[in-house]
Amino acid sequence: MKRGKDVLWIATPFNIRRARRDTNDRAETGSRIGSNASMTEYLIAARAVIILWTNLAVMPVEIVFDAIEAELEHRGVEL
Strand partners, 11: 16
Q: Are 18 and 12 in contact (CB under 8 A)?
A: no
> Could you give the CA distance from residue 15 to residue 35 in angstroms, rounded to a whole number?
31
Interval 25-36 mean pLDDT: 60
CA distances from 58 to 37, 66, 67, 69 (A): 32, 12, 14, 16
Judge whether residue 65 has pLDDT over 90. yes
Question: What pLDDT does residue 1 have?
Answer: 47
Judge whether residue 8 has pLDDT over 60. no
Stated pTM of the model: 0.46
Question: What pLDDT does residue 70 have?
Answer: 96
